[in-house]
Structures are given as structure tokens and as C-alpha cells.
């Protein structure tokens, strides 16, 4: 196998995966199904970080076809599963409000199973973050987003409003019930990615800044005490 780059969902570190950290196998099935031959590929990756050593397990279902000189998987996977962890959600510090991380983790969990519901949860997660971080509480998310327009950069504001707009597809039925607007898993994943970025930019950056400033104050107080001795 060729070495590849990988990011651990447990310790949040990037690593290079080699054959010593990876196991992958195809299980080919030919039992007269409508897709003829299919193959299930399972893979296990162990984190090389000595302080982590967690492992992930995933599976993908492929069409198994003759490719000219050998049998192999054809095209993109028909289905994909993340078995451990059950989603690709990141592990955030416990100072992030639990209501926010709970909605975020659920949005990740159902991203492929129900992208529309995942987008709705991202919308709900965003509203909780705006209310908590900016202490804004208006009648609707639309008004809450407008209330923070001058507090974030324009591109971030546009992306935040996009989460609201796409999340509305799942939260509210169209006036014409025959009009179906869908959300695919890639689109739901983009919304999740924005939630992750906002958690990092708002909560994690604020906490780390506070820690740095407190360290500086602590050093100054220590020096002051040394001078008075």
C-alpha cells in the first residue's frame, strides 16, 4: 500500500499512515443480487500518536466489475459507513456548551443518512451559538443573524446566512408541497464545516486568548512579588 495523510478524529492530529497502522480488505459477494457482484471494503486505522493509539473502522460498498485485466471496484462507493467513531465529528473541549456540541454531533451522525435533517440541525446549532456567544435573542434566526452583521466579517456573515437558508429547507415545508428541494450529503457537510470553523474561531480562540493573557498577568504578579521581597 502507499502511505497516505490522515487526521485522527480523537486526538485531532495529522499523521502519515503506513502499513503498520492500516488494515484493509475486500469481501466479494456474488449471490444473484440486482447489482450482480458487489464488494464490501473494510478498513481499520490506528493512530500513530503514542498518547492516543485510538483506532477507526469504516466500510464502503462497491460494484465489483471486470476492469480489463482484473476484477476490482468500479466507480464511487454505493454506500459508506463510519463504524468507529460513528461519525466524523470532531472532539471539542468541554468548555463548549453541551447543547451546541450535541446538535453538532447529531448533524454529523446523520449527514449521509438524512442530509436535510443534518442541515436543519446545523441551523439549530448556529442559532444556539449566536445566542450564547453574542448574547443575542430575537424572534427569529433571521433577525438574530442581522443583529450580528456588524460583529463579523462580511464573508463569514454571508456563510452564516447561507446555513440559515439551507437549514430552512429541512425546517419548513414549501408553500407548494409538490415542490421538493433536496440537500445532498456534500452540502450538509459544508454546513458542518462552517459550524466547526465558527466553534474554533469563536470559542476555542477566545479560550486560548484568555489563557495567554492570564499567563502574562500571572508572570507580572510573580515578578511584582519577587521585587517586594
Last residue of a domain, one of 52, 70, 85: 85
* More confident of the two residues 181 and 41: 41
Q: 229 in a domain, yes or no?
A: no
Domain-located, residue 202: yes
Average pLDDT over residues 1-19: 92
Assess whether 74 and 92 both reside in one domain: no
pTM: 0.71
What pLDDT was estimated at residue 170? 60
How many other CB atoms are there within 10 angstroms of residue 131's CB atom?
17
Same domain, 185 and 147: yes
In this structure, is residue 138 part of a structural domain? yes
The rounded radius of gyration (Å) of the Cα atoms in the chain is 23
| Domain annotation covers residue 226 | no
Question: What digits encode the pLDDT tens for the residues 43-91?
Answer: 999 999 999 999 999 999 999 999 999 999 999 999 988 899 888 888 8
Asked if 56 and 7 count as a contact pair (C-beta separation under 8 A), the reply is: no
3-class DSSP state of 74: strand
User: Are 138 and 216 members of one domain?
Assistant: yes
53 in any annotated domain: yes
Residue 41 counted as domain residue: yes
Which residue among 85, 111, 142 closes a domain?
85
Asked if 122 and 12 sit in the same domain, the reply is: no
**Do residue 50 and residue 149 come from a single domain?**
no
CA distance linking residue 176 with residue 20, whole number of Å: 56
For cell 456573515, the residue is 157
Per the structure, how many domains does the chain have? 2
Statement to judge: residues 99 and 72 lie in one domain:
no
Q: Which residues contact 135 (CB under 8 A, 6 or more apart)?
A: none
Q: Are residues 29 and 4 in the same domain?
A: yes
Residue 141 maps to which CATH number?
Answer: 1.20.120
Helix (H) or strand (E) holding 28: strand 22-33
Residue 64, SS3? strand
> What would the grid cell of residue 132 be?
450564547
Around 97, how many Cα atoms within 13 Å sit in the side-chain half-sphere? 13
- One domain for residues 163 and 201: yes
Q: Which of 50, 69, 85 is the last residue of a domain?
A: 85
The pLDDT assigned to 178 comes to 45
Least confident segment among 11-20, 101-110, 128-137, 182-191? 182-191
Is 122 in contact with 192 (CB distance < 8 Å)? yes
Cα-Cα-Cα-Cα dihedral sign, residues 141, 142, 144, 150: positive
In a domain, 227, yes or no: no
Tell me the pLDDT tens digit for each residue of 170-229: 655 455 444 446 788 889 999 999 999 999 999 999 999 999 999 999 998 888 888 877
**Average pLDDT, integer, range 17-38:** 95
Q: Is 227 helix (H, G, I), strand (E, B) or coil?
A: helix
Examine the domain organization and report whether 52 and 137 are in the same domain.
Answer: no
Residues 141, 180, single domain; the answer is: yes
C-alpha distances in Å from residue 63, one per residue of 14, 40, 117: 31, 9, 28
Range of the structural domain that residue 198 is part of: 87-221
At 201, is the secondary structure helix, strand, or coil? Answer: helix
Q: Phi, psi at residue 52, to the nearest 5°?
A: -115, -75
Any bridge partners for residue 71, and if so which?
66
Q: Please tell me whether residues 105 and 136 are part of one structural domain.
A: yes
| Separation CA 132–CA 135 (nearest Å) | 5
Same domain, 96 and 117: yes
Express each pLDDT in 97-123 by its tens digit: 999 999 999 999 999 888 989 999 999
Q: What is the pLDDT of residue 169?
A: 74
Amino acid at each position: 500500500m502507499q502511505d497516505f495523510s490522515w487526521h485522527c478524529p480523537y486526538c485531532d492530529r495529522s499523521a502519515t499512515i503506513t502499513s503498520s497502522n492500516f488494515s484493509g480488505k475486500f469481501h466479494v459477494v456474488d449471490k444473484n443480487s440486482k447489482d450482480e457482484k458487489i464488494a464490501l471494503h473494510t478498513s481499520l486505522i490506528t493512530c500513530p500518536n503514542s498518547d492516543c493509539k485510538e483506532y477507526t473502522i469504516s466500510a464502503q460498498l462497491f460494484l465489483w466489475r471486470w476492469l480489463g485485466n482484473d476484477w476490482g471496484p468500479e466507480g464511487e462507493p454505493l454506500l459508506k459507513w463510519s463504524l468507529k467513531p460513528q461519525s466524523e465529528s470532531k472532539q471539542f473541549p468541554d468548555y463548549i456548551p453541551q447543547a451546541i456540541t450535541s446538535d453538532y454531533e447529531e448533524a454529523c451522525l446523520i449527514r449521509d443518512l438524512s442530509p436535510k435533517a443534518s442541515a436543519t440541525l446545523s441551523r439549530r446549532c448556529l442559532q444556539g451559538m449566536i445566542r450564547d456567544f453574542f448574547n443575542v435573542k430575537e424572534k427569529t434566526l433571521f433577525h438574530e443573524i442581522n443583529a450580528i452583521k456588524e460583529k463579523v466579517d462580511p464573508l463569514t456573515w454571508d456563510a452564516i446566512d447561507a446555513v440559515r437558508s439551507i437549514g430552512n429547507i429541512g425546517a419548513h415545508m414549501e408553500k407548494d408541497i409538490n415542490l421538493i428541494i433536496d440537500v445532498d450529503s456534500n452540502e450538509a457537510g459544508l454546513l458542518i464545516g462552517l459550524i466547526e470553523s465558527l466553534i474554533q474561531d469563536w470559542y476555542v480562540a477566545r479560550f486560548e486568548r484568555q489563557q495567554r493573557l492570564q499567563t502574562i498577568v500571572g508572570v507580572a504578579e510573580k515578578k511584582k512579588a519577587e521585587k517586594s521581597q
